[in-house]
Structure 1
Amino acid sequence: MVKVVRTRIAAAFTTAITAGLVLAAAAPTQAAPSPGPYVAMGDSYSAGSGIVPLDPTVTPACARTTRNYPNLIADALGVEAFSDVTCGNADTQDFYESQYPSLTPQLDAVTRETKLVTLTIGGNNNDTLIKVISACMSAGTGTAGLGNPCETLYGDQFTNDILNKTYPAVKKALTDIHAKAPSAKVAILAYPQVMPEDNTNCFLTMPIAKGDVAYINNIEDTLNGVVERAAGETGTIFVDMRSSIGHDACKPIGVRWVEPAVWGTNFVPIHPNALGMQKMAEQALAAIG
């Protein structure tokens, strides 16, 4: 997480202060230059799906909020030329094709003039996150939270898809972003922790069997691992979200960064809440400098 550091300038000599004030008064004032064009891309974890208010400039199907981490980054940097093309349920294919009739491919927003790109992507490739959570909740409900039924049913299916399909797709997307905007800083964010690291569970709000908590964590770690690998191989800034450990969906309001499946505050469950968006923005700002 980024920590905003305010530097305190202590005056040592009164004469030095006086001289500085005189020089400042004599020189014409200049506004700090705004950072170059900034394009925000990605899926629901970029769009802030489930947080209100919704962005009125995009189809409601994206469930994009004006309080997502891209907007927070743009505000913090004082960006004037800002394009947010994030959309819930997007995968890497939606960088090249229209996700909905009213949308253009996300990659179309990136140009040679773009100076900053941020994104979170990969979780919807092969429906990984959706499949994992829904499959494990269904399996966990069937065993009343006992055992590891999800791991028993699916084994390495999800991790194999991530390693063999998601990884090359994310790497290609990052390569193509750099090709379109060769002078841009490109930063890809990891997915925040959804389940507790200590393998405890909260069955009433996240109906997943206790034995499957570690299984889900391993799948998410694999996903973030291939995102980090693709970032390293393409000269992309990787924004680590390990700081989200201890702020998973099982924690109480005010502590958790991701909302649970049941009794959450977002209208889209198992997604970052407003606090989570803030923390993702802070971490990204620290990484991009």
Structure 2
Amino acid sequence: MPKLRHVMTTSAFAAALALTATTAHATSTLDYVALGDSYSAGSGVLPVDLSNLLCLRSTANYPHVIASRTGAHLKDVTCGAAQTRHFTESQYPGVAPQTDALSTDTDLVTFTMGGNDNNTFINAIVACGTAGISTGGKGSPCKDKNGSSFEDEIDANTYPALKASLEKIRAKAPNARVAALGYPWITPATADPSCFVKLPIASGDVPYLRSLQAHLNAAIKRAAEETGATYVDFSQVSEGHDACKASGTRWVEPLLFGQNIVPVHPNALGERRMAERAMTVLDLG
């Protein structure tokens, strides 16, 4: 009998260990909510998430890459063309405000947002592309016409909207780690004449657009830091991977003759690299 009691005790101990390990594994799974615009959604990257075609969301976007590599439980509510107000407002009929996906159980939140506010990106690209074609790529017609107007809109509207939204995210997910991702470079630091056919921006407007993007990223960083969120910076790691580079090197597709159905957006490589950088900054292993 003593020997039998020993065997039973050992078995019970082993079962307890197994139960503890199973419970620990279950509780260690990240409850991850992905918010954001088309750079978060991976719009234009295949395969498309068929559960919501309005949002043109990819199942190969950076949230899915992060989730697959970390084993996180992902709720992806990213949506192409989203503006900061769509954190708390419905973007389309039947599409809930993005922050409705958050709860006190949420462990991780990521987003890229702000580029669509004031239609900053699309207005700047269209304005500078049109101006560049009109001058055959010479001068800085877009800068000459628009001056600081795009940056002024970011300061007056985008930055305060991002800060207010981050505070609302924190209120709905008080236990979560929140990461605001910047935008990887679209243009090189200086004009590349061979790129004009793909990105018809005048030589003097290439640094102008680059400065605009840097200004937006700085606003995102400022809003993140002031609300206790983590800012994921791409200014160094995306250098040399702009839309003017060759396929296989560039992270963002050009305006013309690109390989994605949505131009001037990250390709599959860009989404993977955004995921990897976010994982590094957040120490997600």
Q: Same fold (TM over 0.5)?
A: yes
State the TM-score, normalized to the length of structure 1.
Answer: 0.88
Corresponding residue for 1:248? 242
Matched, 1:200 2:173: no
Q: Partner letter of residue 52 of structure 1?
A: L
Secondary structure of the corresponding residue to residue 257 of structure 1? coil
- Alignment correspondent of 1:86: 78
In structure 2, the partner of 1:176 is 168
Q: Given the alignment of the two structures, is residue 141 of structure 1 paired with residue 133 of structure 2, yes or no?
A: yes
Match of 2:275 among 270, 281, 285: 281
2:95 alignment partner, one of 100, 103, 110: 103
Which of 33, 40, 49 does residue 43 from structure 2 map onto? 49
- Aligned CA-pair RMSD: 1.5
Picking from 213, 217, 221, the partner of 2:206 is: 213
What percent of counterpart residues are identical? 50
Tell me the number of residue pairs that the alignment of Structure 1 and Structure 2 aligns: 263
Instruction: Work out whether 1:237 is the aligned partner of 2:230.
Output: yes
Match of 2:145 in 1: 153
Larger helix fraction of residues: 2
Deviates more, 1:82-91 or 1:193-202: 193-202
Q: Which has the larger radius of gyration?
A: 2
* Counterparts of 2:102 and 2:228, CA distance in 1: 17
| Contact 2:199-2:256 within 8 A present in 1 as well | yes
The structural deviation recorded for 1:199 is 3.4
Counterpart residue number, 2:120? 128
Q: Distance in 2 between matches of 1:198 and 1:137?
A: 16
Quote the offset at 1:254 in angstroms: 0.6
Give the Cα–Cα distance (whole angstroms) in 2 for the partners of residues 35 and 231 of structure 1.
25
CA distance in 1, matches of 2:78, 2:126: 23
Partner SS, residue 235 of structure 1: coil
1:121 CA drift (Å)? 0.3
Aligned equivalent of 1:5: none
Alpha-carbon distance, 1:200 to partner: 2.7
Measured after TM superposition, the shift of residue 35 of structure 1 is: 2.4
SS at match of 2:162: helix
Contact 2:190 2:203 in 1 (8 A): no
Inter-partner Cα distance in structure 2 for 1:228 and 1:109: 23
Q: Which amino acid letter does the alignment assign opposite residue 215 of structure 1?
A: Y
**C-alpha separation in 2, matches of 1:35 and 1:226:** 32
1:165 alignment partner in structure 2: 157
Please state how far the C-alpha of 1:150 moved relative to its aligned partner: 0.2
TM-score (norm 2): 0.89
SS in 1 for 2:225: helix
Is contact 2:30–2:71 with CA below 8 Å preserved after alignment? no
Equivalent position amino acid for 2:179 in 1: A
1:117 is matched with 109
**Amino acid in structure 2 at the alignment position of 1:209:** A
CA drift at 1:245: 1.0
Q: Secondary structure at the match of 1:244?
A: coil
Match for residue 69 of structure 2? Answer: 76
Equivalent residue, structure 2, for 1:15: none
Unpaired segments ≥5 residues, structure 2: 1-13
CA distance in 1, matches of 2:114, 2:168: 15
Q: Which runs of 5+ in 1 are unaligned?
A: 1-23
Q: Of 269, 273, 277, which residue of structure 1 is paired with 2:263?
A: 269
Q: Deviations over 1:194-221 (max 9, x none)?
A: 0012333511000110110000000000
1:16 is aligned to: none
Alignment partners' CA distance in 2, 1:36 and 1:220? 32
Q: Is the 8 A contact 1:197 1:246 kept in 2?
A: no
